[in-house]
Structure 1
Amino acid sequence: MRTFLLIITIMLILPLIPVDAADRLDDHSIIIEVDGDPHQQKEYLKTYQPNIEVLEVFDTLFQGLALRGKQHQLKRLGEFDFVKNTYPVHTYQTNKETPINQSVPFLLKDGGKTDTQSFTGKGVKVGVIDTGIDYTHPDLEKNYQGGFDLVDYDDDPMETTIEQGPPTIHGTHVAGIIAANGKMKGIAPDADLYAYRALGPGGAGTSVQVMAALERAVKDGMDIINMSLGNTINGPDWPTSVAVNRAVEHGVSMVIANGNSGPANWTVGSPATATKAIGVGASTPIITTPIIVDHFEEKEIALTPLIGTNEWDLNRKFQLVDGGIGDKPIPNARGKIVLMKRGKISFTEKVQQAEAQGARAVLIYNNEEGPFQGGLEATTTIPAATISQENGEWLFNQTKKQKYWLETTYVTSQDLMADFSSRGPVTANWNIKPEIVAPGAGITSTIPGGYQTLQGTSMAAPHIAGALAVLKEAHPDWSPEQLKGALLTQALPLEHGDKRYEPIDQGMGRVQLDKAINTDTIITNPLLAFGKIDTNKEIQKVQFEIENVSEKKQTFSIDLPDQTKGLRWYTPRTIAVKPGETKAISVGLGVTSRQLAEGLHQGWLLLKGSNQTFSLPYLFVNQTADFPKAAGFELALDQYNKDNYRYSLYVTEPAKEIKVDLYDPDTMVFVQTILNLEEHSVGVVEGDLPVKNLPNQGQYIANIIVVATNGNTFHQQASILIE
């Protein structure tokens, strides 16, 4: 019997505070994964463990039971051979009121705008697996049709309130993008909304809570399911990814946020890595960015406005003065821009201090490397924005030299890839992710009690979920594969300047719903992943399908990339597709690996049709690439054996040796080796570590060492806690 879980998070995460409901202080809930028929195991438990309540049987996407009972009763389940894994279902009790985090990430201003069209998603069922939905919101109450809470295990999937722990807003924001129908209009304002609360206080939950919510949604007959959540494990066969693929096999369109770990390659995480899901990246809608300029020093600094402040509207030069941390009066602030360092007091207190001194605006710079984003809890009358530590320290030095003046210019941009959007490809199968992108920066939507502007692929994914609902209403006879194919076929490849973004940045490009509704052509499997090439002169073949949904014959040809030494393409000269016909097209790629550089190779083929040219992205890996060889290292105390820890790790290529060394986080002095394994295939590595073999309680840096079968050695670090 194994016990291990992976925490799944949204992009707005706060500390998780586990507690119990006041009326069931001694009761605990768990989900168990079982061998064999879960219905038979349910009857067994009812007979031999009558004091354990069986809450639900899972038999669609995975085999398991949801149970409730006393802790000592549930602990005995570890003795039964049919129990493969156990996972806690978190419950929560009231904690003292905690203010919303002052540095909630991914907040900008100026929301994305959606076009109005004839179809509104009427009659289409959309499930939102998230933190719950505030179904009392006036913009959502008409659409809300029900759901389930997998955190408290009841039929009330409301967002976490402040009385229950760190409050959540994420699911309500996602739902509004999909189907708000009031003061704000979503993409599909007449769609039926269902909420499945899998993430509790602070926006965190377990992988099995997510899978259980997914099973519920599939059984409830959802047409489309949105999952704006994920982890950092880049692998196609992680359990949540497998469950998502099974949901698609049951006829559901699955839409998954690609993640917010960009812009580096290989940063997509599960479950967006699922082969059959639609992984969604984030692009920018129309955004005006204020930039402060020092013409003499030829310095430009882009600002990130704090949510909750007035628009940054400075239209002439203003003097910059130092305001320190912001905890003391600033006597010379009137009519000036005040520079403050992050820390010690809240953003709200900093801005209020400057406002009280008559300041014109506030700049807050980070107290650690890199930029940051945040928001205010109270209304202020002056604009405020954030900048990086590097830029803040540079400005601070300027204020010490002389009276220093700053000018603001403004840059308006759209249809660019958001830097935070996670990039592909997927390890192991080398699939291109994301498949498509949608606006995900500066998106205004519903939250409990009002509206707020957030950013992230969490906001991009529901644009696609809403688009699918509209498309399904327009074409009710289309299958999930056709709906997905239509959106991908008509996506617009994005460019930055005169250069197109790479396939692993954007997939097919930015969604164009109006064109998808009226498309004459549906291309299925248009992202051509040729996999990993290990030998010279190897020919790899992939296949896509062209469906002619028009009433006229269509003819196509394929334009190939510029000739490259070591590459040979094999494609048909012309392709004729009759009305209503679907034709499979094979594309071959011959690779002489020694004539090409090792690593990732990608680009575009052009499919020229009678009325339109389509860009088909391709990708292959020559021999090897710089992808992460390990991910998701976790170490957790066994809940049924306090003398034992469970470890879990995902390996992305066959390993000759796997080793984990612990280091002191303050001195980086080596402490000890806790794991040393030999010969392991791609996939999950998990097992037991006795407490007696581990160092003393405390925080450690784990250095994960993977020695590949070719002898190359790779390192990755993770922070762990031994309790």
Structure 2
Amino acid sequence: MIRIILLILCVCVSPAHAMTFPDHPKAPVQYENEQEVVIIEVTPHRLRDVQAHIHNRYPNITVRAVYQTALHGLSVKGSRRELRELYQIPGVERVTPVTTYKAHINESVTLIGGQAAHGYYDEKGNRLTGKGVRVGVIDTGIDYEHPDLRRNYRGGYDTFDDDADPMESKKVGPTLHGSHVAGIIAANGKLRGVAPDATIIAYRALGPGGTGSSETVLAAIEKAIEDKVDVLNLSLGNEVNGPDWPTSVALDRAVEKGIVAVTASGNSGPAIWTVGSPGTASKAIAVGASSPRLRIPYIDVGGRSLRLDVMEGSPEWNISRSLPWMHAGLGKEIKNAAGKIVVLERGALTFSEKAKRAQEAGAEGVIIFNNMRDSFQGAVEGVNIPVAVLSGRDGKWLLSQQGTLMGTVFREEQDVLASFSSRGPVTQTWEIKPDLVAPGVSIHSTVPGGYLALQGTSMAAPHVAGAAALLRQAHPEWNPEQIKAALMNTCKLLYQNGKPYTVYEQGAGRLQIEKALRTKTLLYPAALSFGLLTGQARVKVDVTVENRTDAPRTYIFQTPPAVTGIQWHLPHTLYVDAGGKRTVPIEAEVNTAFLRDTLHQGYLTVVGDGDMVQLPYLFFTGEPNYPRIMGFQFAQGDGADIYKYEMYLPGGADELGIVLYDPATFQYVGFLDYRQNVTNGRYEQTISKKQFLKGTYKALIFVKKGNREDTFETLLTFS
């Protein structure tokens, strides 16, 4: 998945205790005059009024772009002092600083329901290849000269350079992500994508190195709506679990215009609450990653087997014999590694540098374990020996087994949820995300000059975009909600240790294209989110049941297992005419006094004449334990004496503070910031550097909300 990296950090702080900083109203002149770009969201019928107001009252503010379809609003540039006043203009709903986006590269077609070489067929026997369907790909551009992509390419736009050439960057900061995504959707040559005859419209919103901004992404969504694409794929996102970002809002608007919007959920798993925007967009289809059929290496040490994840760019782990192994710390100095596997810790050096040093020392292979508890993803270049990763937990245990031999065994795995795949649910709206999962591990596809296997939810999303193109061809009259329902209603539930993954891990399950194309029943919405409940509450979601056959059908709603404090009110038996629809309430009556758990989730089963649909449901009884702090960033400002920081507060904060300590002695230095009653959303401040702030400090960021407190530690350096 392409990650949104928050790099624009705009900041001003309260008076500190041990230190004295200027308060917000007395911010330094250079801060007030600092230039910034923001996105202004406006009430639709007030757009011209707001634009005229800015033109007349703020001649120094430059309007950079006007959005009238994906978003009702403006992109403007001006001083922070004047931009802050824009909140007061009647009709302005939200002002959001422009965000930087960055690409993060982290036998699937057969697995999801058929062999693309022979094509897919609908229930009437019509062959489906995506012909006539326009799929927009917002990404790093594509190599439209690639032999597998040039047949289906039909133009596009480059919103990064503002021209009509969406070619991948090939010289300065070369990219390959967009071509890989496009190939999964519609490669038509040596490789064949999910919808090999679909038309690809490319929108290059991310430039050299895979970086861009929310401006360029919004402009690309706007262009895609104007071009009337049928399906839109965005394999990009961020680590902030917030549904109110402009790109999320814009995707929902695109769906309202009739476009099926597909986005990656993120690569920040496996923890809960890690799905990132715009994967939080309510009407879009957010996609997590599962594994296709893979041969996975496990190392056998000390009577335990530890799963290895091979790094991007590394040769396959083909070591089949038992070998001695050695621990070489961070890899700064590796000696006497001939015939051994070298185990290294993450940090200090790049993965490629570590692996090359081990290779030069004669190593047979390299294992790098994380400096955090969980696992991670990585990539290497220019290495001829296999390089794999372990979680920090497994790596530390491995070090206790030094002096033993390391064997390798291989296991066939399929339909395992990728550890990196971001999990939901969504804060504020409490919705289920991802909506479904698709293969996203070791996916072979097109890149400039050839082919490459990559992994990430970036690779999972285009499988769903391709499937949506086939459904659009089969049912051009269907709206995006019906297509989303067909994809989700027919998913295969994935299991771990005999139990299904949770709804906030897999949504409706793993994509099955052929079942989606042949479905005789649609139920929508395809996921039931009842929200945050307190005390005694009775809530409902209206579900439409659509009979796609030419005969009447009877549907039975099965009541979930009994739980004290939760009572379901379901229609039980429902009769639907041939080709007809009926909308019925699905209700849950809850008494939180009888419930110990906060999160309640599962699958509601609906059976009808041989068909079975499992609707994921989710609700909370009490304030959930979601992260109170997300996306903290700190950086040098535009001026020599200015520093900026920002964070995202999903639920706001009763108290927020940043405390500085001496990193060597842990002696208290003072408060960098302290606030009370901070509203939810993006929190950003700027500070003016003081001479006695020079150096590096250990920072403890804390946020209190209700009876919960979250903390985050990092190092802040003032030069």
TM-score over 0.5 for the pair: yes
The structure 2 residue matched to 1:313, chosen from 290, 311, 318, is 318
Q: Map 1:205-284 to 2 at 5 A.
A: 205-284=212-291
Q: Specify which structure has the bigger relative contact order, considering alpha-carbon pairs within 8 angstroms and separated by 6 or more residues.
A: 2
Aligned-partner Cα distance in 1 for 2:184–2:355: 30
Change (3 A) 1:300 1:686: closer
Q: Which whole-Å CA distance do the structure 1 matches of 2:559 and 2:263 have between them?
A: 31
- One of 286, 292, 295 as aligned partner of 1:285: 292
Residue 173 of structure 1: aligned partner: 180
Report the alpha carbon displacement of residue 574 of structure 1 after superposing the two structures with TM: 0.7
Describe the superposition over 1:392-426 as per-residue Cα deviations: whole angstroms up to 9, x where unpaired. Answer: 56656655x4xx43322111111121111111111
In 1: Cα distance, 2:601 partner to 2:245 partner: 25
Q: Distance in 1 between matches of 2:682 and 2:242?
A: 13
* 1:328-367 map, 5 Å: 333-334=338-339, 336-339=340-343, 361-366=364-369
What is the one-letter code of the residue matched to 1:247? A
Alpha-carbon distance, 1:321 to partner: 5.4
- Note closer, same or farther for the CA distance 1:515–1:149 as it changes in structure 2 (3 Å cut): same
Unaligned runs of 5+ residues in structure 1 are 1-8, 17-27, 93-100
Which residue type is aligned with residue 61 of structure 1? A
Distance in 2 between the 1:688 and 1:694 partners? 19
The corresponding residue for 2:29 is none
Corresponding residue number in structure 1 for 2:382: 378
Residue 338 and residue 219 in structure 1: after superposition, are their counterparts in 2 closer, same or farther (change >3 A)?
same
Query: Number of paired residues?
Result: 672
* 3-state SS of paired residue (1:515): helix
Q: 1:520 to 1:694 in 2, by over 3 A?
A: farther
**Structure 1 stretch displaced more, 642-651 or 167-176:** 642-651
Matches within 5 A, 1:36-75: 57-64=66-73
1:23 maps to what in 2?
A: none
Match of 1:501 in 2: 501
> Contact 1:37 / 1:63 at 8 angstroms: preserved in 2?
no
Residue 347 of structure 1 and its aligned partner are, at CA, apart by: 5.5
Indicate the SS of the match to 2:128: coil
Measure, in 2, the Cα distance between the counterparts of 1:260 and 1:563: 35
Aligned-residue offset at 1:568 = 0.9
Bigger shift: residues 507-516 or 447-456: 447-456
Change in Cα spacing, 1:321 to 1:589, as seen in structure 2 (3 Å) is closer
**Amino acid aligned to 1:471:** L
Question: What does residue 461 of structure 1 align with?
Answer: 461
The correspondence for 1:302, drawn from 298, 307, 315, is 307
| One-letter amino acid of the counterpart of residue 519, structure 2 | T
Greater displacement, 193-202 / 607-616: 193-202
Q: Does the alignment pair 1:197 with 2:201? A: no
- Give the C-alpha shift of residue 199 in structure 1: 2.2
CA separation of 1:112/1:387 partners in 2, compared to 1, >3 Å: closer, same or farther?
A: farther
Shift of 1:257: 0.8
Taking only aligned residues, the RMSD between alpha carbons, in angstroms, comes to 4.0
Question: Per the alignment, do residues 613 and 76 of structure 1 end up closer, same or farther by CA in structure 2, a change over 3 Å counting?
Answer: closer
Counterpart CA distance in 2 for 1:542 and 1:57 is: 37
Cα gap change, 1:373/1:689 in structure 2, threshold over 3 Å: closer, same or farther? closer
Identify if the C-alpha distance between structure 1 residues 534 and 642 changes in structure 2 by more than 3 Å, giving closer, same or farther. Answer: farther
Shift of 1:14: 13
Find out whether 1:127 has 2:136 as its counterpart: yes
Which residue number in structure 2 is paired with residue 571 of structure 1? 570
**Does 2:514 correspond to 1:514?**
yes
Q: Deviations over 1:304-356 (max 9, x none)?
A: 2244444333444334456777787866725x545556677765676667667
Question: Residue 483 in 1 paired to residue 483 in 2?
Answer: yes
User: How far is 1:547 from its partner?
Assistant: 0.7
Going from structure 1 to structure 2, the CA distance change for 1:39 and 1:628 (only over 3 Å counts) comes to same
Partners of 2:629 and 2:96 lie apart in 1 by: 24
8 Å CA contact retained: 2:100, 2:211: no
Corresponding residue of 2:585: 586
Per-residue CA deviation, residues 501-554 of structure 1 (Å, 9 max, x unaligned), is 111111111111101111101111121111111122x11111111111111111
Q: Do structure 1's residue 142 and structure 2's residue 151 form an aligned pair?
A: yes
TM-fit CA distance, 1:384: 4.0
- Aligned to 2:236, what secondary structure does the other structure show? coil
Matched residue SS, 1:279: strand
Judging changes above 3 Å, is the alpha-carbon distance between structure 1 residues 180 and 282 closer, same or farther for their aligned structure 2 residues? same
Q: Which residue, out of 171, 189, 203, partners 1:182? A: 189
Superimposed CA distance per residue, residues 472-523 of structure 1 (whole angstroms, 9 cap, x where no aligned partner): 1111221111111111111111112311111111111111110111110111
State the shift of 1:604 in Å.
1.8
Query: Partners in 2 of 1:432 and 1:624 — Cα distance?
Result: 16
Q: Equivalents in 1 of 2:253, 2:503: separation in Å?
A: 26
What is the SS of the residue equivalent to 2:407? Answer: strand
Is residue 558–residue 572 contact of structure 2 (8 Å, CA) maintained in 1? Answer: no
- Give, in whole Å, the separation in 1 of the partners of 2:100 and 2:503: 39
Q: Is the 8 A contact 1:293 1:408 kept in 2?
A: yes
CA distance 1:158–1:315, change in 2 (3 Å)? same
Distance 1:496 1:208 in 2: 41
Q: C-alpha separation between the residues in 2 aligned to 1:90 and 1:505?
A: 27
| SS of aligned partner of 2:168 | coil
Which of 152, 157, 165 is residue 166 of structure 2 equivalent to?
Answer: 157
Q: What is the one-letter code of the residue matched to 1:250?
A: K
Query: Bigger shift: 369-378 or 46-55?
Result: 46-55
The residue number in structure 2 matching 1:684 is 681
Give the stretch that moved more between structures: 344-353 or 236-245: 344-353
Residues in 1 aligned to 2:685 and 2:353: alpha-carbon distance in whole angstroms: 48
**Counterpart contact for 1:12–1:105, Cα < 8 Å:** no
Asked whether 1:658 is paired with 2:655, we answer yes
Cα contact 1:15–1:202 (8 A) shared by 2: no
- In structure 2, C-alpha distance between the alignment counterparts of 1:632 and 1:352, rounded to whole Å: 33
Cα 1:711–1:44 shift into 2, 3 Å? closer
Counterpart-to-counterpart distance in 2, 1:450 and 1:15: 33
Q: Distance in 1 between matches of 2:648 and 2:620?
A: 20
Any gaps of 5 or more consecutive residues in structure 2?
9-34, 120-126
Given that 1:268 and 1:424 are in contact with CA atoms closer than 8 Å, whether structure 2 keeps it comes out as: yes
- What is the DSSP-based 3-state SS (H/G/I as helix, E as strand, rest coil) of the residue aligned with 2:267? coil
CA–CA separation in structure 2 for the residues paired with 1:202 and 1:662: 35
Contact 2:337-2:362 within 8 A present in 1 as well: no
CA contact (8 A) 1:255 1:280 kept: yes
Structure 1 residues 59 and 471, CA, compared in 2 at 3 Å: closer, same or farther?
same
Shift in Å at residue 566 of structure 1?
0.9
Measured in 2, the distance between the counterparts of 1:11 and 1:689 equals: 24
CA contact (8 A) 1:661 1:671 kept: no
Change in Cα spacing, 1:52 to 1:275, as seen in structure 2 (3 Å) is: closer
1:674 offset after TM fit, Å? 4.5
Query: Contact 1:10–1:204 at 8 Å: present in 2 too?
Result: no
Instruction: State TM-score, norm by structure 2.
Output: 0.82
Distance (whole Å) between structure 2 residues aligned to residue 618 and residue 466 of structure 1: 26
Contact 1:139 1:446 in 2 (8 A): yes
Aligned-pair distance for 1:691?
Answer: 2.8
Distance 1:366 1:598, change over 3 A: closer
Cα 1:29/1:599, change in 2 over 3 Å: closer
Deviation at 1:622, TM superposition (A): 0.7
Structure 1 Cα separation of the partners of residues 626 and 432 of structure 2: 14
Instruction: Tell me the secondary structure at the aligned position of residue 238 of structure 2.
Output: coil
Instruction: Give the Cα–Cα distance (whole angstroms) in 1 for the partners of residues 671 and 207 of structure 2.
Output: 35
1:263 alignment partner AA: P
Identity of aligned residues (%): 40
Tell me the CA shift for residue 181 of structure 1. Answer: 1.3
